[in-house]
Amino acid sequence: MAVPIPSKSKQSKSSQDSNNQGFRLEYTNKKTKEEILAQAAGNYQPNPNYTRGENRLYHADNLPVLASLLADDRVSGKVKLVYIDPPFATASSFESRKQKHAYNDHLVGADFVESLRERLIFIHNLLADDGSLYLHLDGRMVFHFRIILDEIFGEKNFRSCITRKKCNPKNYTRKTYGNVSDYLLFYTKSDTYVWNRPVEIWDEAKILKEYQYTESDGRRYKKVPVHAPGVRNGETGKEWKGKLPPPGKHWQYIPKTLDEMDARGEIYWSATGNPRRKIYAENSIGVPVQDIWLDMRDAHNQNIHITGYPTEKNPALLARIINASSNPDDLILDCYAGSGTTLVTATALNRRWIGVDSSNEAIRTILHRFELGSERMGDFINTDKQASLSTHIPIIDFTLYEPEPHLQANHTTNTNKSNGYEAYQLSLLDL
Ligand SMILES: C[S@@+](CC[C@H](N)C(=O)[O-])C[C@H]1O[C@@H](n2cnc3c(N)ncnc32)[C@H](O)[C@@H]1O
């Protein structure tokens, strides 16, 4: 495998001066940052039926909510993690499993880009200095937002583009490859950010495959090079045990450290006298998670618990993100909350949260999920639905906010105009 050696040549002036690489995504009606941040903050009041905690659920368009959060000292600059899974510009409408209208995904092209960009500019300002953003999109729009997020966060704060396998292989009739992937763009506000490296815990079969050698005391190990790419003039470029590093390489450690490792038996010498480093299985808790996630598909068999809300994401996906990029008690925001996957996972992991969604069906689904949990996918056809609900500890420590009454008559959103605004009574029979 070729390992690139970083270039020593100077960066271009534009990339030194600005956050980005000196190019932008241009389209008509692209607002300035100042115009976007001039958005009026929304006014919200608690729904008297749900006022039991500091976590906040907003039933409203997220743009004025984000503007109000930016003016709120308890939130502004304090959000540690934002995960958002907005509409993907599919030019479609989405219904729940019970065929209830959930939301419209009608914005496409530049209108879609600008609508999401406006929200991302607020989100950038809301994040703590050590905060992170994960933006979930598919192949339609992910490339546009790599550029938009470089503009907002700075190219140097791009961390990963994660490819996720979202479903099982499809029997595609179109003349192209099966579409089983979507993407998560991971950016941080700065280069000092919360990071709890996720690992895939070893199982016996993986250990045997990866660590093929055994010490006389039974410890399993693998052999790796003891040199690394790049020429060095210091001690790591000098002879060790009468050997120079291979051309274009340097030793990974100074000769004194290599001597100590050798004395402990941690260097393997080949028959031709080449040193290799021994890495022991017992010192590794697992394989660091890489940027292709094959094990995080959304509901794909009848035993998995779901709410029935369309485009609902796998809670394990959220758990991985929340564990990696926040700590207990941190504040997490999802302003496209849908069925509330981020919110229930954040609660389970002892994080605080703010959720926003403009859809009546989303809020009904979240309230139902908070109270009763979700159901096995196979049970959506059962009539005895109470019997199929999972054992669940109700989530009650949140306050539900709605636009103030005089605003409700005009309460429409760019995605849910047909819904109007209605007070929801939590009716289980309705769901
Ligand atoms: C793809 S779904 C999110 C699904 C969610 N991640 C889950 O696991 O259930 C997108 C959600 O964004 C909401 N949404 C779209 N535009 C919005 C807006 N302007 N303000 C608030 N919510 C919005 C939709 O109502 C929908 O519920």
Residue 414 CB less than 6 A away from ligand 1: yes
**Rounded average pLDDT over 74-101:** 96
Q: How far is residue 187 CA from its own chain's centroid? A: 9
Residue 356 CB less than 6 A away from ligand 1: yes
Question: How far, in Å, is the centroid of ligand 1 from the Cα of 254?
Answer: 54
Q: What is the phi-psi region of residue 93: left when phi exceeds 0, alpha when psi lies from -120 to 50, beta otherwise? A: beta
Token reading at 418: 């047909």
Residue 357 CB less than 6 A away from ligand 1: yes
Question: How far, in Å, is the centroid of ligand 1 from the Cα of 82?
Answer: 14
In ligand 1, the atom with minimum distance to the C-alpha of 61 is: 20
Contact 132, 193 (CB under 8 A): yes
With 60 as the cut, is the pLDDT of residue 390 above it? no
Residue 94 CB less than 6 A away from ligand 1: no
Q: State the pLDDT at residue 241.
A: 94
| Alpha-carbon distances, residue 137 vs 88, 143, 285 (angstroms) | 6, 9, 31
CATH 3.40.50.150 segments of the chain = 43-197+289-430
DSSP letter (8 states) at residue 157: G
Q: State the pLDDT at residue 410.
A: 45
Query: Helix (H, G, I), strand (E, B), or coil: what is residue 223?
Result: strand
Q: Is 226 exposed, middle or buried (0-12, 13-18, 19+ CB in 10 A)?
A: buried
Task: State the pLDDT confidence band at 10, using cuts at 50, 70 and 90.
Answer: low
Question: How far, in Å, is the centroid of ligand 1 from the Cα of 204?
Answer: 41
In ligand 1, the atom with minimum distance to the C-alpha of 94 is: 26
Percentage with pLDDT > 90 across the chain: 77
pLDDT in tens, 200-259: 988 889 899 999 999 999 999 999 999 999 999 999 999 999 999 999 999 999 999 999
**Strands (DSSP E) found in 315-403:** 331-334, 352-357, 375-376, 398-403
Q: State the pLDDT at residue 299.
A: 82
Question: How far, in Å, is the centroid of ligand 1 from the Cα of 84?
Answer: 8
Contact 1, 229 (CB under 8 A): no
What is the C-alpha to C-alpha distance for residues 228 and 17, in angstroms, rounded to an integer?
32
pLDDT in tens, 396-411: 999 999 999 765 544 4
Q: State the pLDDT at residue 406.
A: 62
* pTM summary value: 0.86
Q: State the pLDDT at residue 417.
A: 35
CATH architecture of 43-197+289-430: 3-Layer(aba) Sandwich (3.40)
With 90 as the cut, is the pLDDT of residue 330 above it? yes
Percentage with pLDDT > 70 across the chain: 87
Question: How far, in Å, is the centroid of ligand 1 from the Cα of 268?
Answer: 55
**Which residues contact residue 26 at a Cβ distance below 8 angstroms, ignoring those fewer than 6 apart?**
none
In ligand 1, the atom with minimum distance to the C-alpha of 365 is: 9
**Rounded average pLDDT over 421-427:** 43
Q: State the pLDDT at residue 63.
A: 98
**Rounded average pLDDT over 250-277:** 95
Residue 61 CB less than 6 A away from ligand 1: yes
Instruction: Choose which residue among 333, 336, 369 to substitute to test ligand 1 binding: the one with the highest number of ligand atoms within 8 A of its C-beta.
Output: 336
Instruction: Choose which residue among 83, 184, 318, 357 to substitute to test ligand 1 binding: the one with the highest number of ligand atoms within 8 A of its C-beta.
Output: 357
Residue 85 CB less than 6 A away from ligand 1: yes
